[in-house]
Structure 1
Amino acid sequence: MDDTRATDVAPVADDEPREPLADRVFEVGVAAMECLSIHLGDKLGWYRELAASGPLTPADLAARTRTQERYAREWCEQQAVAGFLVADETGPDRRFRLDDEGVAVFTDAASTDFLAPLARFVTAATVQAPALLDAYRDGGGVSWDQLGDDVRAGQADMNRPWFEQVLPGELAAVPHLHEILSRPGALVADVGCGFGWSTIALARAYPQARFVGVDVDAPSVEAARVNALDAGTVNATFETSWQDAPAGPYDLAFLFECLHDMPHPVDVLTEVRASLADGGRVVVMDEAADDVYTAPGDQVQRALYGYSVLCCLPDSLSHVGSVGTGTVMRRGTLARYARQAGFAVVEDLPIEDFGFWRFTELR
């Protein structure tokens, strides 16, 4: 399958109703401000305190979190107007609370609905607006390290519940992958492991296998080592380069939501393929971009392009010679990279309803 270029545009029905553009842009501006306000509540601990203590007045919330009452009052009122908090009473003693859905979305790190980290991501990209403007004008990029800990932790925290709660069961339902992972002494690589939550989740689910997480971002690898230690995971190790990892051969290698970020994806896939045992497999989990560019797009495709213009493409282009994939890696692009790396077969795996990701097997 060939890569689909932006010039191949799927038609949009002429009679499709469209919201006036001015109204749409106004809504986008309001949403951006609300996103930044979520970041305030997340970083100041206000959501967590409301989840732990129940309804609070702004004065009580400020006192419990050692913040300022006037700001807490404005934020609580704004959050209730936005529909994020519930205002229980009227008057100066009005109390505000999170309902059950709000607890899951804003505070529950184990919930697949946990989205407070998304606001961290957006805010971190906003802080880097001057650097992004320079990159867009002059070339180069904005590296993962420049984007900082809120992007690192934001991505890790959003993916963590999917890896811990959903991933092991989905892989167990694919018989040949379950068989490989269940082999005593099987060696499994997690390339681009980030904070290590995918590695740790699989190591827990398959204690007889050995797992090696690799990521070029040193702070992420350090976080992964701490997370594995805290989890008591003894069959997983983490390295900052493929050269420092065990030589293999590997029975299975995973690349979870990272291939599109890599400046040289074919080189990485080639190295991974060379490390495989006979019959070894590679599984790529990446964003489920549409096969054909369609404009306007649905909310998922809009989100993917949002990630790409603010983070993934600038990070990739911060490296010399980058191919500049971007977040929107279509099936055809992945298939091309896989063929160039020497893989003969590229197939979708029967894993559905896993966020907005797609699982592809290479062999």
Structure 2
Amino acid sequence: MTITPDSTPPPGQDADSTNADRTGVVSAAPTADEFAERFLTSTLATAETMSVYLGERLGWYRSLADHGPLTADDLAARTATDARYAREWLEMQAAYGILEADMSGTTTTFDISPGVAEVLTDTASLNYLGALPRMFAASFGRLPELLDAYRTGGGVSWEQFGTDARESQAALNRPWFESRLAPALAGVPHLHELLSRPGAQVLDIGFGAGYSTIALARAYPDARLIGLDIDADSVQMARRNAEAAGHGDRVHFEIAGGEEAARRGPFDAAFAFECLHDMPRPVEVLTAARHALAPGAPMIVMDEAVSDEFSGPADELDKLMYGFSLFVCLPDSMSSPPSAATGTVMRPSTLRSYAEQAGFQSVEVLPIEDFAFFRVYELRTG
């Protein structure tokens, strides 16, 4: 599943409903009726998103995919949940067009189509999004703390966001790491050759649930990998995942910040998958990684493929990343002062600035395309 730039005007904007200021910047000027309609649509989408959270967490989608069509009573019995709540949820899902309702018999039954089931239940599919609402649920559960952070300049840490956030990110990235990371790296000959060397030492900073590190271990069986992450629960989860995948002997996960990378090594390559924008002190981490690398070895940074510059109305990817930034990534970064306060929408120029301050001499975008929401950078000292 890939988000592409939206070529249509933002809601409420057309050729006759824009205003340009003296700098030439064009902004949307919706009428009250147009914005009210747009905001109602957004509210419906919020309700839909959180209803998906209920269905995913309670096992309702999975039960329908495995045993449907089902009545409300059947679904409740199979999932050890309450039938009245199940009926209300099922009717709401049908009202939104997520599920299909059959009212031809004496009792209404509900079913899930193969396409919807893939998106909401198939954790190996590149279209899988079933865990996405869990990230926002984790954030919404911390709204009092977020409001306080916004007032005071404080933050809310990844640890505070808890299991839903941790498992959401892991589940959404897992299919991409497991099915696409190896071929993506194989398509970059000089990097593939480096990682294929017998005994190659590889560092993975901010590994989360460890799926990136495990994918590297699977793709390069002669390499040895060390992962560093500050979240103790993530480290435990990653260790379990590595053992389950049969790579516990070659993958070593440690509770440590990226700033501690310089104490390890030397490494033939270092990676930071979708984590640099969360780090309160990214320059320090990149500097430590540079010192940990063997001479001429690359640092690979994968982060969100947002647009190059802020330009007001944006495409869907930038909008989504601003949502993550407001509710998760920026508060997480600001929870550990002093913080660079990067946010999820890390522009390429920001990454280049961090790399230069850390002592890297070149930053190149690798020819890896159609890899979820991400852009892959290679940082080198020479």
Bin for the TM-score computed over the shorter chain: over 0.9
Matching residue's letter, 2:62: R
RMSD: 2.0
The CA deviation at 1:54 is 2.4
Q: CA deviation at 1:17?
A: 12
Q: What code does the residue aligned with 1:337 have?
A: Y
How big is each residue's C-alpha offset from its partner over 1:42-61, in whole Å with a ceiling of 9 and x where there is no partner?
11111111111121111100
Letter in 2 for 1:240: I
Aligned to 1:3: none
Paired residues for 1:30-109 under 5 Å: 30-90=44-104, 92-109=106-123
Specify the alignment match of 1:131 in structure 2. 145
1:27 aligned onto 2:41: yes
Amino acid at match of 1:59: D
Shift of 1:89: 3.5
Partner of 2:190: helix, strand, or coil? Answer: helix
Kindly indicate whether the alpha-carbon contact (under 8 Å) linking 2:131 and 2:168 is maintained by their aligned counterparts in 1.
yes
Q: CA deviation at 1:313?
A: 0.3
1:207 aligns with 2:221: yes
Output one character per residue of 1:298-348: Cα deviation in whole Å (capped at 9) or x when no partner: 111100100000000000001010110000100100000000000000010
SS at match of 1:279: coil
What is the aligned counterpart of 1:261 among 278, 297, 307? 278
State the shift of 1:90 in Å.
3.7
Matched, 1:304 2:321: yes
Aligned partners of 1:194 and 1:18: how far apart in 2?
Answer: 44
2:316, 2:94 → 1: CA distance?
24
Structure 1 residues 276 and 300: alpha-carbon distance in aligned structure 2, compared to 1, 3 A threshold = same
1:237 aligns with 2:252: yes
Measured after TM superposition, the shift of residue 279 of structure 1 is 1.9
Match of 1:337 in 2: 354
Alignment of 1:79-228 (within 5 A): 79-90=93-104, 92-228=106-242
> Which contiguous aligned blocks of 4+ residues in structure 1 show a shift greater than 6 angstroms?
13-19
On the 8 A contact 2:198/2:222 being kept in 1, the answer is: yes
CA pair 120-308 structure 1, distance change in 2 beyond 3 A: same
User: What does 1:245-324 correspond to in 2, within 5 Å?
Assistant: 247-324=264-341
Is the 1:213–1:237 Cα contact (8 Å) retained in structure 2? yes
What's the % identity of the aligned pairs? Answer: 53
**TM-score scaled by structure 2?**
0.89
Contact 1:285 1:359 in 2 (8 A): yes
Distance 1:17 1:360 in 2: 42
Q: Distance in 1 between matches of 2:198 and 2:313?
A: 49
Which runs of 5 or more structure 2 residues have no equivalent in the other structure?
A: 1-22
Gapped regions of structure 1 (runs ≥ 5): 1-8
| Aligned pairs, number | 355
In the aligned structure 1, how far is the partner of 2:24 from the partner of 2:167? 36
Provide Cα deviations, 1:204-255, integer angstroms capped at 9, x if missing partner. Answer: 1111111111111110010000000111113211011154897211000110
